[in-house]
Structure 1
Amino acid sequence: MTAQLLALRGVQAAYGKSIALQDVSLQVGRGEVVSLMGRNGMGKTSTLNTIVGVLQKTAGTVRLDGVDISDLESDEISRLGIALVPADRGIFALLSVEENLKIARRKHSTWTLESAYASFPRLKERRKNLGGALSGGEQQMLSIARALMQGPKVLLLDEPTEGLAPVIVDELVELIAGVGRSGVSIVLVEQTFAVCRALASRHYILEEGHVVFEGPTAALDDDPTILERLLGLDVGAHA
Structure 2
Amino acid sequence: MAPNSVIAGLGSVAAKIEPSGVASALAGGKPEAQAVKQIVRVIVFNADRDRRNAITVAILSSQPVPYEGEPDGSLSIWADALGEEFAATFRDVLAETHLTDDQAQRLVAQILARKQSLGVQFFVSELASLFAFAGRSKANAVAFSQIDEIAALARSQGQRSVLASAFIAILPSCSVAQIRMLAPVVRNLGGTTNLEKNASVLAELDDEQFNAVVEGFPESKPLQRTLSQRVKEV
Q: TM-score, normalised by structure 2?
A: 0.30
Q: TM-score, normalised by structure 1?
A: 0.30
Please identify which structure carries the higher helix content. Answer: 2
Please identify which structure carries the higher strand content. Answer: 1
Q: Relative contact order (alpha carbons < 8 A, sep ≥ 6): 1 or 2 greater? A: 1
